[in-house]
């Protein structure tokens, strides 16, 4: 018999048996085949030596080849994983280059659309382009430039599309901060949280993180979440369990200490950090945190716009080399307090203090970002709680994205100019020092090429992931096949007489007593087909030898990380052969499922096989197995 693979036709040992059978005096006669049992053990009759050799050695070859196929599939999975890792590295490098060109601090501006509640506009105070925004005030025109300007009609999807690369940086191990800054009512919360119909950056980012984690083959990514609020210079844990009775505990939870360890990593003492194993849990905790914030605001008469709300996602990974999960990065998403009160309010008392606190922290944040953008040696982190909290996420190797929100209303123009000036300062580029057009064009071209590289790497990565998935399915099926078939064979070796019968029991054939089995077996086979003590001994010696060699082969193969190209391609051959042989073996087992008194025979379909084109031959008489073989073949061809 033959099976066709992509590369060539492989003669299977059992085919030799069939051919030998035909050429033998017995094989030339159809009737004489009735006495031939494919499950025969060794038989010592010198008149039909070929049959004896084949039917006894084939199972060992099948076993060896199936084992080889498993090893090759394992090697293939390892090779594909390595390929995936190197593609991911390529993508990471390209993304890093883009972010380096664009700068580790990026500032976007979003103009809120007109609302029904807004006063009717008389003049258009704001005109926005893709990177520039101009504001008219009392006959003067001020122009501001940003990395990106989102006009009034920009959708949440489009905003998120620009934010997404920075999330990938977080997954790549960079600490990341995304800030929403602006006057109250300009859409900070809309951008960060959004609505159910139009989700904002935070829910989309959570989705994206879990989506990316589900793709990650080389590392097992996991996440945890914390939420806190900075109000009047105090740090409050938004996810802490309710401190119902202990006033002291409640107080300390409202004023957490910030520590920096020897490596410069920021620790917030006692801050609740909840694991988020899936998106549903993540959303649940996020909603809880938001609700606590709102409640607190109502209870203590504290406006959301007068505190900063920070959500921290810590990203962990457990890699091949890492036993314990280790945090790799922090992703901060910050809805900053509204800035207008700082300018407008002539408040006294608590309101004045709140205004001062916000004023101080926002200006401290502006100073830090400007220092980072200008790559100054000294960065003034210590000037506010907000910047202390974010110290390790605003420095070297971190990425910062500031989204400045402005109102389109004429009545808010003064506030708008203040916000845009803050953003310009954070951006650290004075108008008169803008890049020349030619340099800009070159940068854009380079970015486009790098983006193309990223796209290609991602597409390739996706293909590799699919291949890994398919190879893993095949591997687990092969392992299952191996353990069902040969696990039982090893068991059967312990029973000296009639070893095949236990296999029948194990594969679900109605049980019969050993006595019956012996009788049936002796009835079902001519005496010359049954194994002798000597042949059994020889069989077991051969088996031991093959198993020993397979094991030593396995250890050699496993020690090697990479398979040669020929191995990676040719694994399909033994794999098919093994499956086919296993199936033919199973079909032979099926034939042993004879009722007492029945004699096993080569049925007509078995004989027809030879008249079929060789590449169409499927040896199994078991329809389930035929399906399995076809499925395996399809998957293997998908893989290549
Ligand atoms: N891009 C937008 N598209 C549609 N509606 C928007 C947009 N931006 C803001 N809004 C609407 O404007 C109103 C104020 O927005 P939002 O509450 O997000 O402002 P804010 O800056 O967070 O205010 P605060 O500082 O008080 O929290 C909301 O009703 C919101 O739905």
**Ligand 1 center to residue 338 CA distance, Å?**
11
Asked whether 306 lines ligand 1 (CB < 6 A), one says: no
The mean per-residue pLDDT over the stretch 159-165 comes to: 92
| Residue 52: inside a domain | yes
- Index of the ligand 1 atom closest to the CA of residue 195: 31
In a domain, 74, yes or no: yes
According to DSSP H, which parts of 226-322 are helical?
A: 247-253, 279-299
Ligand 1: nearest atom to the Cα of 335: 22
Quick check: is 604 in a domain?
Answer: yes
Contact 92 CB / ligand 1 (< 6 Å) = no
Ligand 1 centroid from CA 282, angstroms: 23
Nearest CA to ligand 1 atom 4: 113
Residue 31 has phi, psi (to 5 degrees) of -60, -35
Model confidence over 251-307: pLDDT tens digits? 545 678 888 887 778 888 889 999 999 999 999 999 988 887 654 443 433 444 568
Asked whether residue 152 is domain-assigned, the answer is no
Does the residue 47 lie in any domain?
Answer: yes
3-state secondary structure of 15: helix
User: What gap in Å lies between CA 450 and CA 92, rounded to an integer?
Assistant: 11
Answer yes or no: is pLDDT of 95 > 90: no
- Kindly write down the DSSP assignment for every residue of 188-229, as one continuous string: HHHHHTB-SSSB-HHHHHHHHHHHHHHH-SSSEEEEEEEEEE
pLDDT at residue 305, rounded to an integer: 58
User: Is the distance from the beta carbon of residue 198 to the nearest atom of ligand 1 less than 6 Å?
Assistant: no
Better-predicted residue by pLDDT, 346 or 444: 444
Predicted pLDDT at 121: 61
CA 332 to ligand 1 centroid distance, Å: 20
Q: Quote the ligand 1 centre to 407 CA distance (angstroms).
A: 10
Q: Is 182 in the pocket of ligand 1 (CB under 6 A)?
A: yes
Centre of ligand 1 from the C-alpha of residue 186, in Å: 5
The CB of 156 under 6 Å from ligand 1? The reply is no
Distance CA 152, CA 189 (A): 16
Which pLDDT tens digit goes with each residue over 408-422?
888 888 889 989 998
Nearest CA to ligand 1 atom 25: 184
**Domain contains 558:** yes
Q: Which residue has the tokens 């280059």?
A: 97
How far is ligand 1, taken at its centre, from the CA of residue 167, in Å? Answer: 23
Its domain, for residue 587, covers 2-79+471-639
pLDDT confidence tier of residue 596, bands split at 50, 70 and 90: very low
ipTM rounded to 2 decimals: 0.98
- pLDDT, position 325: 63
**pLDDT value of residue 374:** 76
Q: Is the CB of 113 under 6 A from ligand 1?
A: yes
Ligand 1 pocket check for 189: Cβ under 6 Å = yes
pLDDT beyond 80 at 226: yes
How many A from CA of 468 to the centre of ligand 1? 45
Q: Compute the distance between CA of residue 195 and CA of residue 202 in angstroms, rounded to an integer.
A: 11
Number of domains in the chain: 1
Cβ of 96 closer than 6 Å to ligand 1, yes or no, is no
Q: Is 194 in the pocket of ligand 1 (CB under 6 A)?
A: no
Q: Which atom of ligand 1 is nearest to the CA of 186?
A: 21
Going by DSSP bridges, is the β-strand pair 234-237/126-128 parallel, antiparallel, or unpaired?
unpaired
Q: How far is CA 464 from CA 90, 368, 399, 459, 471, in A?
A: 14, 42, 29, 9, 10
Residue 91 in domain: no
Answer whether residue 512 is part of any domain.
Answer: yes
For the segment 63-88, the average pLDDT, to the nearest whole number, is 86
How many angstroms separate the CA atoms of 89 and 172, rounded? 9
The answer to whether the annotation marks 189 as part of a ligand binding site is: yes
Q: What pLDDT, on the 0 to 100 scale, is given for residue 250?
A: 54
Highest mean pLDDT among 375-384, 518-527, 581-590: 375-384
Torsion of CA 571, 574, 580, 585, to 10 degrees: -140
Give yes or no for residue 408 CB within 6 A of ligand 1: no
Nearest ligand 1 atom, CA 193:
18
Kindly report the protein residue whose alpha carbon is nearest to atom 6 of ligand 1.
187
């Amino acid at each position: 018999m033959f099976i066709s693979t992509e590369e060539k036709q492989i003669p299977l040992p059992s085919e030799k048996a069939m051919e030998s059978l035909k050429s033998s005096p017995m094989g030339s006669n159809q009737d004489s085949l009735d006495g031939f049992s494919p499950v025969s053990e060794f038989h010592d009759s010198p008149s039909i030596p070929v049959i004896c050799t084949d039917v006894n050695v084939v199972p060992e070859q099948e076993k060896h080849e199936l084992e080889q196929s498993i090893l090759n599939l394992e090697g293939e999975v390892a090779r594909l994983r390595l390929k995936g890792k190197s593609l991911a590295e390529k993508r990471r490098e390209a993304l890093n280059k883009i972010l380096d060109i664009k700068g580790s601090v990026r500032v976007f501006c979003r103009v809120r659309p007109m609302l029904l509640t807004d006063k009717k506009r008389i003049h258009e105070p704001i005109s926005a382009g893709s990177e520039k925004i101009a504001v008219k005030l009392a006959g003067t025109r001020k122009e501001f430039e940003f990395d990106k300007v989102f006009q009034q009609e920009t959708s949440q999807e489009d905003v998120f599309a620009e934010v997404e690369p920075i999330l990938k940086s977080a997954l790549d191990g960079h600490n990341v901060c995304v800030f929403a800054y602006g006057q109250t009512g300009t859409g900070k919360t809309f951008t960060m949280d959004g609505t159910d119909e139009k989700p904002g950056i935070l829910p989309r980012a959570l989705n994206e993180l879990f989506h990316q984690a589900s793709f990650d083959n080389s590392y097992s990514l996991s996440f945890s979440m914390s939420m806190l609020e900075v109000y009047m210079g105090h740090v409050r844990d938004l996810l802490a369990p309710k401190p119902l009775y202990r006033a002291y505990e409640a107080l300390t939870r409202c004023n957490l200490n910030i520590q920096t360890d020897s490596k410069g990593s920021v620790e917030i003492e006692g801050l609740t950090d909840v694991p988020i194993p899936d998106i549903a849990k993540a959303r649940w905790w996020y909603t809880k945190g938001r609700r606590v914030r709102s409640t607190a605001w109502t209870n203590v008469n504290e406006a959301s716009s007068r505190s900063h709300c920070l959500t921290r996602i810590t990203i962990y990974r457990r890699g091949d080399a890492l036993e314990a999960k280790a945090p790799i990065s922090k992703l901060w998403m910050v809805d900053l307090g509204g800035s207008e009160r700082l300018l407008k309010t002539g408040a006294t008392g608590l309101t004045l203090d709140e205004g001062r606190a916000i004023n101080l922290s926002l200006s401290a944040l502006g100073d830090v970002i400007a220092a980072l953008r200008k790559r100054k040696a000294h960065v003034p982190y210590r000037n506010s709680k907000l910047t202390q909290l974010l110290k390790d996420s605003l420095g070297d190797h971190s990425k910062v994205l500031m989204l400045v929100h402005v109102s389109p209303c004429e009545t808010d123009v003064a506030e708008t100019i203040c916000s845009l000036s803050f953003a310009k300062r954070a951006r650290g580029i004075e108008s008169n020092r803008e890049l020349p057009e030619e340099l800009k064009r070159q940068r854009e071209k380079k970015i486009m090429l790098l983006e193309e590289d990223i796209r290609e790497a991602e597409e390739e990565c996706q293909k590799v992931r699919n291949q890994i998935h398919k190879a893993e399915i095949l591997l687990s099926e092969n392992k299952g096949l191996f353990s069902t078939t040969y696990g039982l064979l090893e068991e059967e070796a312990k029973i000296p007489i009639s070893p095949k019968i236990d296999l029948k029991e194990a594969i679900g054939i109605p049980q019969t007593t050993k006595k019956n089995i012996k009788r049936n077996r002796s009835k079902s086979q001519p005496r010359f087909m049954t194994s002798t003590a000597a042949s059994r001994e020889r069989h077991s010696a051969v088996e031991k030898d093959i198993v020993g060699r397979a094991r030593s082969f396995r250890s050699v193969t496993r020690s090697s990380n990479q398979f040669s190209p020929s191995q990676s391609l040719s694994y399909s051959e033994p794999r098919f052969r093994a499956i086919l042989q296993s199936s033919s073996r199973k079909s032979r087992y099926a034939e042993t499922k004879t009722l007492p008194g029945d004699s096993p025979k080569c049925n007509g379909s078995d004989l027809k096989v030879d008249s079929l084109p060789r590449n169409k031959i499927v040896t199994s008489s078991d329809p389930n197995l035929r399906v399995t073989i076809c499925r395996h073949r399809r998957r293997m061809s998908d893989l290549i």
